[in-house]
Amino acid sequence: MIHLCPSTPGAEPGCYPLAGVRRPDGNRDILQPRGAPAHHQPFPPGGSQGLPQPCLADAESLGGHLPVRGARQPGDEARLQPRPNGGIQATVYPNAQLGQDEDVMEQALLGADVAFNTDAGRLGVRVKEMGIVLAPYLFNNPQEARKFLVSDLFRSWQKKLEDTHNLTLLSLNNYVGGRNFITKVPIKSPDDLKGLRIRTPGAPVWQETIRSLGATPVALPWIETYPAFQQGVINGAEAQHPATYASKLHEVGKHITLTNHILLMNGLVVGTKWFRQLPKEYQQVLVEEAIKAGDWTTKAVADSEKEYERKMAAEGATVSAVDVAPFKARAESAYKQLGFTDLKTEVNKVIGR
């Protein structure tokens, strides 16, 4: 059984905890995730007696798009592709029923059957190279990002995450939107960001990106962003459209500037100890379906972005396209500050630039 948590207090809307399956050897869960249901879906006739049950909890926003193929609405049961023998299923659990992000990660590290949805910025705190995935203007589109995220170079970083930090990244190809600025004043060039306090996540790649573009980055929990913006503690935020619209930031900051300075890619992480206890067949299914889920999410989000812009404009916001060339030029300093200059060259080779 895979459990999905669509929101965690303090996170950008849309956290989806993945919870799991029982082992075919009949062993019970290592650690029952908090808030998980007392019942478990039976395996089909001829299937195994079950695997330990994983759970997925996230961080920064999928904006309402479930990263599991076939998932419907929070509270519904959702299935992965019926393989193997329908033995892996998914259920949505909202409002951090499976625990806060750090709690779920700690459970994963201890060998519990839990998974969490995260981004490359947070993973970059453990494996520095991974942070470059969220560096400014690295990819021109989600297709370039996906090409890199299934490359041998990126897989070598995944192995490092497993071997050094006991975390297994199933996929990181969930495109959940381009990050844009939400402010009370119009932004036409990087010069307009000077002196503005902009809310962003706390990982180094986020902080240096916003700093390189001329603003002052302020790390705040997402849940505090709206009141801080309203009260003038911050002058704006940067986020993808689904998160902006869901949190109604466009009601406070009437100017949405389409810089797309970061393409936000999220993915599913499980504890390596738990993952390696699964049969190889189940490991393969989880990885393959996580990648398929990312492709589904990417299409759903990309198809929705213009509609979000239309909705925000209809509700009084000004959505403005800008010449991103000056932003890209300023953003180069972030690579130097983060020590990513040579790594960027390697990434460019992989994607054929």
Give, as one character, the DSSP assignment of residue 213: T
Cβ(108)–Cβ(121) under 8 Å?
Answer: no
Across 5-9, 56-60, 261-265, the highest mean pLDDT is recorded for 261-265
pLDDT at 107 over 70: yes
Alpha carbon distance 168, 271 (integer Å): 6
**Quick one: CA dihedral 239, 69, 283, 351, positive or negative?**
negative
- Tens digits of residue pLDDT in 86-104: 666 656 555 566 777 778 8
Provide the 10 A C-beta neighbour count for residue 231: 9
Q: What mean pLDDT comes out for the span 289-305?
A: 94
pLDDT at 171 over 70: yes
For the entire predicted model, the pTM comes to: 0.79
**Whole-number mean pLDDT of the chain?**
79
Alpha carbon distance 114, 39 (integer Å): 17
Structural domains of the chain sorted by starting position, each given as residue range(s) with its CATH number in brackets: 2-127+152-175+265-303 (no CATH), 180-263+306-350 (3.40.190.170)
pLDDT at 102: 76
**Residue 326: pLDDT band with limits 50, 70, 90:** very high
- Tens digits of residue pLDDT in 184-243: 999 999 999 999 999 999 999 999 999 999 999 999 999 999 999 999 999 999 999 999
- Percent of the chain at pLDDT exceeding 90: 63
- Tens digits of residue pLDDT in 1-36: 444 443 343 445 433 333 333 333 333 222 222 233
Give, as one character, the DSSP assignment of residue 122: H
- Tens digits of residue pLDDT in 123-139: 999 999 999 999 999 99
Token pair of 51 as six digits:
């695997």
